[in-house]
């Protein structure tokens, strides 16, 4: 008989939420020696002679993906792409990855080979070497990737200063709208909807763009929604912000989903767009926008960093349910 686990309190993980759990881990494992940065930013920085970024991300069947509407290739691509996005958000260049796979013994092999194909395609697209990994059995599929990157001058979340301009690459809300479309089986309906679905299933980390944002004062990738990720930068920097909702670069393909979605709400709280959100000294704004104008995504100014702690959107704070995606919080 298995020993039963003693439950000394009635609190469960869902009560604490992802942010609370991360805080608990940070308290337990500390802040690292001088020259290193451990938990709390897009990746850790560890000392290896030169500065190396080191990050990991796990995606789980039924939580982060659903094999009823995506392929093994999609899962493989996204599992690495989200890590590349975190390295890009630090101003680094991704280098080497290890991959840990869990799956049920009855998983069809074409899903597994598709997954490896997706991993390989993403690795080639971003010049990452997959150097090893591990495989284990589980009742559902999960893919865990750990990735290193090189960095000379990391761009941290903590560098925003009052008066800095807040900018974001590309467009927002498309990935969440793509998930909405997949769940309603709208695939193939029209080209705009298929582009939204591609944003959900095959995110493109903004690595070339990040090379042109190395002068940013702070940066993060938009994984959990603009509002939540922006609040993380402001909290790390000890600043507040004012965002103009009319300036948000809402994905134009959202217009293809008539009814059922609020484009601004998706742009603010939808998440998984993997755009880069950064703050820029006002004297650098024009040159940075010009440097990005030739890229696929461009760069849009959406607001300004302020003194204090409040994050205001058209002058108002957001309700918690408008903020974005906390992976473990009850909903």
Residues recorded for the chain: 331
Which residue's CB atom is positioned nearest to Mg ion?
42
Q: Which is nearer to Mg ion, 74 or 272 (CB)?
A: 272
**Torsion over CA: 113, 118, 200, 59 (sign):** positive
- With CA atoms as reference, report the closest residue to 85 among 276, 231, 232: 276
Instruction: Write phi, then psi, for 293 (nearest 5 degrees).
Output: -65, -25
Q: Which is nearer to Mg ion, 209 or 221 (CB)?
A: 221
CB of 114 to Mg ion, least distance (A): 26
- With CA atoms as reference, report the closest residue to 276 among 247, 249, 237: 249
Q: Which is nearer to Mg ion, 86 or 272 (CB)?
A: 86
243/234 Cα distance (integer angstroms): 12
CB of 233 to Mg ion, least distance (A): 10
133/141 Cα distance (integer angstroms): 15
Residues that bind Mg ion (CB under 5 A): 42, 86, 221
CB of 121 to Mg ion, least distance (A): 22
CB of 42 to Mg ion, least distance (A): 4
CB of 256 to Mg ion, least distance (A): 28
Q: Which is nearer to Mg ion, 61 or 275 (CB)?
A: 275
- With CA atoms as reference, report the closest residue to 97 among 125, 123, 134, 64: 123
Q: Which is nearer to Mg ion, 57 or 253 (CB)?
A: 57
The full DSSP string for 214-256 is TT-SEEEE-SS-HHHHHHHHHHHHT-EEEE-GGGS-B-GGGGG
């Amino acid at each position: 008989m298995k020993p039963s686990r003693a439950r000394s309190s009635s609190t469960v993980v869902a009560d604490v939420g992802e942010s609370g759990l991360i805080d608990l881990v940070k308290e337990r494992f500390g802040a690292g020696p001088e020259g290193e940065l451990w938990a709390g930013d897009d990746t850790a920085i560890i000392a290896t002679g030169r500065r190396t970024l080191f990050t990991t991300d796990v995606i789980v069947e039924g939580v982060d993906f659903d094999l009823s509407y995506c392929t093994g290739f999609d899962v493989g691509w996204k599992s690495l792409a989200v890590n590349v996005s975190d390295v890009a958000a630090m101003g680094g260049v991704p280098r080497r990855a290890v991959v840990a796979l869990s799956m049920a013994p009855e998983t069809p092999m074409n899903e597994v080979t598709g997954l490896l194909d997706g991993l390989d395609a993403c690795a080639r697209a971003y010049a990452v070497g997959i150097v090893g990994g591990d495989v284990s059995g589980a009742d559902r599929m999960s893919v865990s990737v750990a990735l290193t990157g090189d960095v000379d001058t990391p761009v941290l979340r903590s560098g925003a200063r009052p008066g800095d301009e807040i900018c974001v690459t590309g467009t927002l809300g498309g990935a969440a709208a793509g998930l909405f479309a997949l769940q309603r089986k709208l695939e193939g309906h029209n080209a705009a909807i298929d582009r939204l679905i591609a944003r959900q299933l095959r995110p493109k980390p903004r690595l070339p763009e990040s090379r042109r944002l190395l002068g940013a004062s702070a940066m993060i990738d938009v994984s959990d929604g603009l509002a939540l990720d922006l609040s993380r930068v402001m909290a790390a920097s000890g600043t507040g912000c004012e965002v103009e909702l009319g300036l948000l670069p809402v994905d134009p393909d959202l217009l293809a989903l008539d009814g059922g979605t609020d484009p601004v709400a998706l742009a603010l709280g939808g998440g998984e767009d993997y755009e880069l959100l950064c703050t820029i000294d006002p004297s650098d704004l024009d040159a940075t926008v010009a440097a990005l104008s030739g890229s696929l995504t461009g760069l849009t100014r959406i607001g300004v960093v302020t003194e204090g702690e409040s994050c205001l959107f058209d002058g108002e704070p957001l309700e918690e349910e408008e903020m974005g995606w906390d992976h473990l919080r009850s909903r």
